[in-house]
A and B are shown apart, each in its own frame.
Chain A
């Protein structure tokens, strides 16, 4: 059950936009396709929806083959029993809210749509606006109508194409929570496309990071964040400091020779292009280290280059061992002051480029 994508290839004119990706979405699972513009995430979604044909590979929904180039099978979108939410909402201006939501039912010949419409509108909290037209609604309200429409027909799959990018930050937070709640209630597989990491991290059971038509990493949010497979993923999600490192016999060191304790899971990495990742929130910055030096803790001295107040925390740019790092703390530090930074070895991961 669920969605199954195998060796998906998509070509537009001269360029191959998707170069062979495979993944599964289990029943009830919420998977996010995350990546920069042009990585192929929207195209993948459209192929699963049947809005685009595929040029290689196979897509199955609930064990049924919906697209397969080898056998020439192609099930058109209206036969795939989907619920899709578009970035532009695509709420039809000539129909009322209730008519919009009832559409998936009326096209299937269902006469009595009132109950299903009420159920769907209740879930998104739009029942008292059922008789309005989309032109009388705000963006957030229109998006909720689109959501209600997507679930009204009890689809077997939910697809989201960057649905929140046209909303302001506050509204985005609220709608994010609603979408998660709805998907969990309905227990259908869902694929969510976004370039926003907050959405990806907070909503997903699994995140698939794409770049230039290929899968870079597929894992749960914690893995993607704490155990990125390469520099691209580490850079794309969260903030990151990348430290150039060199091998010194069995140990690792910074360019100026300062020894660096790294996470034991990653010491096996081979190759020339290795960097060390340290996230700013893992770095402690102090004038004088309070505790004694611990065996697993890296400790280096340096100076403060700048401090920026960001509300939640203060972001410091510090210079240590000839490198510039960013670190977060809640205490203000004077520019130019001498400080010591410390971070645990496990927070320092080696990555290939």
Chain B
């Protein structure tokens, strides 16, 4: 029914509060998006740490060509490509098994994969270090049971790729699930009735039909791999496998520091991810109308037959390696006095948990985490909804620029954003360094697109005539938004809040460079324990954090029915 273009939306009104709101939102998003990037550029041209006196220099950019950085760049690309390759295959196969065949437990798998999605990356990394490091579980067990050295080393490219794949498979699954479910079944049915076997049909019809979704998902997966921080840093430093994110961290945390070089590297990494994202957006726009016709037909599931048990083992195997095993290991590690691979030999204790319970630092970190997640998500959703309303409905002058500004930080890796904020607030007069506001700012900047995409998708669906009916019935624009648009968008706003809350809770990379003792959050506390090689405390706090996260997740889903639709 939308037969008229957006001209009606640009009807000029005399003064109303939407105009100053637009200006405010535009300014806020512009600052949030541009300040860190601008600060990075400036910082890359300095030869001293942020806030210290120094000179302008081009050395940092010259040093990008040094063998060290080039090596790191190559490693980054290697790791990213390998991870993307395997994660895409595994994730897509999972999506096909669960939603295209007569696999027996689709709902269970979907739920478990959802849980795996929320498993924080660095905690997964930690668990696998306990499992696979030279002094870890597997090596210990093999030494004891078979009296030989297995020499398994998780501190390697292979190890990093393994854990990164485990972390990213749920993401691939989630992005491929929609297209797999939404495919028009008649194409496949035509193939089957023409005599194609299930495999042939998959190979020659299903996968080609999914090609746009696959390409789009691959690019997003690649971006995720390039941005990864927790896993490559935790597993890479001991084994001297360095990716760009690691290098930035090393240059900022350990003397001799080189913040300027870190800024230059950060911008390079951001450029890589930005290219991938631009490609993905172009692709996503082009391939809209292909396989999903919207006809929700009944799909005839593929009979697994002899492949049933391999499929079961595959699915179960992933859940085991990506969710259950790491959790059990962390639980185990948190309860033992001294590390040993043999649970029968270990002495058990609750002291780690008691320590945490009494620790003021941890209590503060927990409070901070809840504040940042709960309050920050609220700020994010409101800002995101406002941005979306302007870019999707009202479309005033400059809305396209606003749209770009919102998406800009999406391509910037978390650690790079953190570095940018570090540089920015060393110089800006605002007393934000060392405050919770800075952390919230970092998180909201990074994840704003989550909120705008969920709210925006809903605003687009809302028939314009629903708002126009309000106007012709005597409601001003503002009243129309308050009484009609917002109530009807509530489920999407709830969904956005949930996404943001979960993302903020798990986040480590954007915080790791800008936190202080008083603004520490749970993820940073866990990280710190691990850096001090206090595996027991790190594991215990991880378990507590995950229990807390699960609890809050359930509470949110119960309180906000709209967030359940994912």
A-to-B contact residues, CB < 8 Å: 12-13, 42-43, 46, 49-53, 74, 76-78, 80-84, 86-88, 90-94, 103-104, 107-108, 146, 149-150, 153, 159
A78 and B475 within 8 A (CB): yes
> 15 more A-B contacts (CB under 8 A) besides A84-B468, A90-B469?
A12-B5, A42-B3, A46-B8, A50-B11, A51-B471, A52-B7, A78-B472, A78-B479, A83-B472, A86-B465, A91-B469, A103-B475, A104-B474, A107-B470, A107-B475
A86 and B469 within 8 A (CB): yes
A45 to chain B, nearest CB (A): 11
| A-side contacts of B13, CB under 8 Å | 76
> Are A107 and B469 CB-contacts (below 8 A) given A74-B12, A88-B1?
no
How far does the alpha carbon of A93 sit from the alpha carbon of B466 in the complex, in Å?
9
How far does the alpha carbon of A93 sit from the alpha carbon of B489 in the complex, in Å?
12
Q: Would you mind naming 13 contact pairs between A and B with Cβ atoms under 8 Å apart?
A: A52-B4, A52-B8, A74-B14, A78-B477, A83-B472, A86-B465, A86-B468, A92-B466, A92-B484, A94-B487, A107-B470, A149-B469, A153-B473
How far does the alpha carbon of A91 sit from the alpha carbon of B468 in the complex, in Å?
11
A90 and B471 within 8 A (CB): no
| B-side contacts of A51, CB under 8 Å | 8, 11, 468, 471-472
B320 interfacial by beta-carbon distance below 8 Å: no
B463 interfacial by beta-carbon distance below 8 Å: yes
B476 and A76 within 8 A (CB): yes
How far does the alpha carbon of A52 sit from the alpha carbon of B471 in the complex, in Å?
12
B488 interfacial by beta-carbon distance below 8 Å: yes
A153 and B474 within 8 A (CB): yes
Which residue in chain B gives the minimum CB-CB distance to A108?
B474
Task: Tell me the count of chain B residues lying within 8 A, CB to CB, of chain A.
Answer: 28
Which residue in chain A gives the minimum CB-CB distance to B2?
A88
A90 to chain B, nearest CB (A): 4
Q: B250-281 interface mask toward A, CB cutoff 8 Å, 1 = contact, 0 = none?
A: 00000000000000000000000000000000
Q: Which of B65-83 contact A (CB under 8 A)?
A: none
> Are A87 and B472 CB-contacts (below 8 A) given A46-B8, A52-B8?
no
A43 and B4 within 8 A (CB): yes
Which residue in chain A gives the minimum CB-CB distance to B490?
A94
How far does the alpha carbon of A43 sit from the alpha carbon of B468 in the complex, in Å?
14
A90 and B488 within 8 A (CB): no
| A-side contacts of B12, CB under 8 Å | 53, 74
> Are A13 and B5 CB-contacts (below 8 A) given A86-B468, A88-B465, A107-B479?
yes
| B-side contacts of A149, CB under 8 Å | 469, 473
B469 and A84 within 8 A (CB): yes
| A-side contacts of B477, CB under 8 Å | 76, 78
How far does the alpha carbon of A80 sit from the alpha carbon of B474 in the complex, in Å?
8
Q: B1-44 interface mask toward A, CB cutoff 8 Å, 1 = contact, 0 = none?
A: 10111011001111000000000000000000000000000000
| B-side contacts of A53, CB under 8 Å | 11-12
8 tightest A-B CB contacts, nearest first: A90-B469, A84-B472, A90-B465, A104-B473, A77-B471, A107-B475, A86-B465, A107-B474
> Are A93 and B488 CB-contacts (below 8 A) given A12-B7, A76-B476, A104-B473?
yes
A90 and B468 within 8 A (CB): yes
B-to-A contact residues, CB < 8 Å: 1, 3-5, 7-8, 11-14, 463, 465-466, 468-477, 479, 483-484, 487-488
How far does the alpha carbon of A93 sit from the alpha carbon of B328 in the complex, in Å?
48
How far does the alpha carbon of A42 sit from the alpha carbon of B466 in the complex, in Å?
17
How far does the alpha carbon of A36 sit from the alpha carbon of B472 in the complex, in Å?
25
A116 to chain B, nearest CB (A): 13
How far does the alpha carbon of A159 sit from the alpha carbon of B468 in the complex, in Å?
13
B496 to chain A, nearest CB (A): 18
How far does the alpha carbon of A74 sit from the alpha carbon of B15 in the complex, in Å?
12
| B-side contacts of A88, CB under 8 Å | 1, 463, 465
How far does the alpha carbon of A94 sit from the alpha carbon of B473 in the complex, in Å?
16
A40 to chain B, nearest CB (A): 12
| B-side contacts of A86, CB under 8 Å | 465, 468-469
How far does the alpha carbon of A108 sit from the alpha carbon of B475 in the complex, in Å?
8
Residue among A42, A52, A84, A146 making CB contact with B11, cutoff 8 Å: A52
A3 to chain B, nearest CB (A): 15
B491 to chain A, nearest CB (A): 11
B473 and A107 within 8 A (CB): yes
B6 to chain A, nearest CB (A): 10
| B-side contacts of A77, CB under 8 Å | 468, 471-472
| B-side contacts of A76, CB under 8 Å | 11, 13-14, 471, 476-477
A220 to chain B, nearest CB (A): 28
B4, B14, B463: most-surrounded residue (chain A CB, <10 A): B4
How far does the alpha carbon of A13 sit from the alpha carbon of B5 in the complex, in Å?
10
B83 to chain A, nearest CB (A): 44
How far does the alpha carbon of A53 sit from the alpha carbon of B12 in the complex, in Å?
8
| A-side contacts of B488, CB under 8 Å | 92-94
B264 to chain A, nearest CB (A): 45
Which residue in chain B gives the minimum CB-CB distance to A161?
B465
B5 to chain A, nearest CB (A): 6
| A-side contacts of B7, CB under 8 Å | 12-13, 52
Which residue in chain B gives the minimum CB-CB distance to A52?
B8
| B-side contacts of A83, CB under 8 Å | 472-473
How far does the alpha carbon of A267 sit from the alpha carbon of B380 in the complex, in Å?
75
B472 to chain A, nearest CB (A): 4
A92 and B471 within 8 A (CB): no
Which residue in chain A gives the minimum CB-CB distance to B487?
A94
How far does the alpha carbon of A33 sit from the alpha carbon of B265 in the complex, in Å?
65
Which residue in chain A gives the minimum CB-CB distance to B5?
A12
How far does the alpha carbon of A12 sit from the alpha carbon of B472 in the complex, in Å?
22
Residue among B3, B463, B471 making CB contact with A78, cutoff 8 Å: B471
A81 and B8 within 8 A (CB): no
How far does the alpha carbon of A81 sit from the alpha carbon of B465 in the complex, in Å?
18
Which residue in chain A gives the minimum CB-CB distance to B3?
A42
How far does the alpha carbon of A69 sit from the alpha carbon of B157 in the complex, in Å?
69
Which residue in chain A gives the minimum CB-CB distance to B471?
A77
A110 to chain B, nearest CB (A): 10
Which residue in chain B gives the minimum CB-CB distance to A74?
B12
Which residue in chain A gives the minimum CB-CB distance to B16?
A76
A43, A50, A86: most-surrounded residue (chain B CB, <10 A): A86
How far does the alpha carbon of A111 sit from the alpha carbon of B13 in the complex, in Å?
28
A78 and B476 within 8 A (CB): yes
How far does the alpha carbon of A80 sit from the alpha carbon of B63 in the complex, in Å?
67
Which residue in chain B gives the minimum CB-CB distance to A77?
B471
A157 to chain B, nearest CB (A): 10
How far does the alpha carbon of A52 sit from the alpha carbon of B483 in the complex, in Å?
22
| B-side contacts of A108, CB under 8 Å | 474
| A-side contacts of B472, CB under 8 Å | 49, 51, 77-78, 80, 82-84, 159
How far does the alpha carbon of A159 sit from the alpha carbon of B473 in the complex, in Å?
11
